[in-house]
Amino acid sequence: MDLTLFLLFLKIGITCFGGGYGMMSMIFDEGAKRVGLTINEFTDMAALELVCPGPIALNSSTYIGYIKGGVSGSIFATLGLILPTVTVSILTIIFMKKFSESRIVRGLFRGITPACGGLLIYTSITLMLSIFFGTESIHEIHELIFTRETITLLILFVSALILQFRFKIDPIVLTLIGAATGLVFLH
Amino acid sequence: METTAQKSLFLFWTFFKSMMFAFTNGSVALPAIERGVVDKKHWLSHEEFWTYPVLGQTLPGVISIHNAILIGNRIAGPAGAFSALMGVILPAFVCMLGIAALFQAYVDNPYIQGAIRGIRVVSVAIILGNAVRLLQTVPKQAFSIVMVLAAVFVPLLTGFGAFQTIIACGIAGILSILFMPAAPDHPQTSINGDND
C-alpha cells in the first residue's frame, strides 16, 4: 500500500500545476482508480482541509495516505507528492530562471492551466451529483427527490456561492457557517 | 553575522509559524514570512523577496514548496532550503494527521456528521470559486476556451480520466506554442483581446 500511495501521489505531483486546487481533480479521479477512494472520502477530505492549515496539496496527501495506509501511508504519499516539486525547484536553482522561461514550460502552462480550471468544474459537478442525488456519475440520475435535508443542503450551497462571489466572504467564515448550519439542521 | 545553522533554524521557525495560520491557501503565509526574513533580518530586499513567489507560480508543482526552497536556498544554501521546506511540510502534515485521527474517532457522532456535511457543501462551493479564479487568469483565446471545455466534458462524459486530460492538454499547449509563433507567448500580454 505504501508503494501504491507513493506512486499515486508521485503521479499527482508531476501533473500539479497552478496550486493545490488544480490537483483536486487528479486526486478525485486517480484516487478512485488506484486506492479505491470513494466520493464520501473525497468530500470528507475537501471539508477537513478547510479547517487544517498548510498547502491543500500537502493536506490531501497526508489525509488520503492516512485513511488508506495509516501513518506510514501518509508519509509515503507526502514524499511522492513533494518529490517532483523539489526536483523542479533544484533544477531552477541550478539553471537559474531559464527553466520557467523555456517555451516548453510556457506551452505546458498554456494548455494545463485552462484544463485545470475545466477539471475543477468537472469535479464540482460530480461532487454536486453525489451530494444532492447520491449518484456517482451523470448517467445515473433517474429522479429528483427533495427531502428536508437536500433542500437544506441546496440552500446552504447557493448561499455559499452568493456569499463568496457577490460579497467576497473569506473561505474560513464560509466553513464556519457550513459547520454551524450542519450542527443545527443536519444531525 | 549569523552562522548557516542559526539562519536555517530561523528559516524553519519563520516558515513553520507562518504556515500554521495559512488556511486554504499556502500563499496566505507570504506576508508573515516576509516580515521575518525582510523586515526583521534584512537578508533580502522587499523586491527580491517577491521575485521568488512570482517565479514559483510559473513552475510546475506545489507553489509553497518552490517558495520555501528558493527563498531558503538564497538565504542559507541547501541547509536553508531544507529547513524552510520542513517548515512548510510539518504544519500541514502534523495538523492533518491529528484532524484525520480525531475525525475517524468521532465519525459516528451525529453532530460531527452534521457539521462535516455542512462543510462538505461549502467546500464544493469553494472548489467552484477556485475554478472561476483560476479561469480568470487564463487569456480569453479560442485555444484556452477549447481546453476548458474539453477538460469539463471529456472526463464527465467519456472514460478518459483527469490524468489523460491534463497530459493531452499539456501536449496541445506545447504544440500550440511551437507551431503558432504568432500567438502571444505570455499570458499577461494576451488579455486585451488578441485572437489566435
Please name the member of A26, A100, A184 whose beta carbon is closest to the beta carbon of B59. A100
Cβ contacts of A156 within 8 Å, gap of 6 or more: A177, A178, A181, B118, B121, B122
* pLDDT value at residue B195: 33
Higher pLDDT, A110 or B58: A110
* pLDDT value at residue B12: 97
Q: How far is A187 from chain B (nearest CA, A)?
A: 4
Burial track A112-146 (b if 16+ CB lie within 10 A, e otherwise):
bbbbbbbbbbbbbbbbbbbbbbeeeeeeeeeeeee
B99 CB near a chain A CB, below 8 Å? yes
Phi, psi for B60 (deg, rounded to 5): -70, 140
Q: Cβ of B100 and A178 within 8 Å?
A: no
Average pLDDT over residues B1-5: 86
What's the grid cell of residue A48? 477537513
Q: Cβ of B59 and A88 within 8 Å?
A: yes
DSSP 3-state of A53: strand
Task: List pLDDT tens digits, range A148-177.
Answer: 888 888 999 999 999 988 888 877 788 889
Q: What is the mean pLDDT of chain B?
A: 85
pLDDT band at B73 (very low <50, low <70, confident <90, very high): very high
What's the grid cell of residue B10? 530561523
Angle at A124 between CA A74 and CA B99, to 5 degrees: 30
Q: How far is B35 from chain A (nearest CA, A)?
A: 18
Q: Cβ of A85 and B62 within 8 Å?
A: yes
Q: Give residues 70 to 129 of A whose Cβ lies within 8 Å of B.
A: 71, 74, 78, 81-82, 84-86, 88-90, 92-93, 97, 99-100, 103-128
* pLDDT value at residue B85: 97
* pLDDT value at residue A136: 60
Q: What is the mean pLDDT of chain A?
A: 86
Please name the member of A50, A116, A184 whose beta carbon is closest to the beta carbon of B123. A50
* pLDDT value at B188 more than 70: no
Q: Over B121-171, what HEC string results?
A: HHHHHHHHHHHHHHHHCCCCCHHHHHHHHHHHHHHHHCCCCHHHHHHHHHH
Please say whether the beta carbons of A113 and B177 come within 8 A. Answer: no
Average pLDDT over residues B40-60: 84
Which residues in chain A touch residue B132, judged by CB atoms under 8 angstroms apart? 117, 165
Average pLDDT over residues A18-39: 84
Task: List pLDDT tens digits, range B22-40.
Answer: 776 777 788 889 989 999 9
* pLDDT value at residue B190: 36
For the ranges B41-45, B67-71, B176-180, B191-195, the lowest mean pLDDT is seen at B191-195
What's the grid cell of residue A17? 500545476
Q: Of the candidates B57, B59, B50, B44, which has an alpha carbon nearest to the alpha carbon of residue B11?
A: B44
Please say whether the beta carbons of A11 and B163 come within 8 A. Answer: yes
Which residues in chain B touch residue A156, judged by CB atoms under 8 angstroms apart? 118, 121-122
**Domain parsing of chain A, residue ranges:** 2-115, 146-187
Distance CA A123, CA B103 (A): 24
B150 CB near a chain A CB, below 8 Å? yes
Please name the member of B58, B59, B129 whose beta carbon is closest to the beta carbon of A164. B129
Which residues in chain A touch residue B91, judged by CB atoms under 8 angstroms apart? 53-54
* pLDDT value at B189 more than 60: no
Task: List pLDDT tens digits, range B140-157.
Answer: 889 999 999 999 999 888
* pLDDT value at residue B153: 93
Q: Cβ of B165 and A115 within 8 Å?
A: yes
**Domain parsing of chain B, residue ranges:** 4-105, 110-190
Q: Cβ of B62 and A43 within 8 Å?
A: no
A151 CB near a chain B CB, below 8 Å? no
B130 CB near a chain A CB, below 8 Å? yes
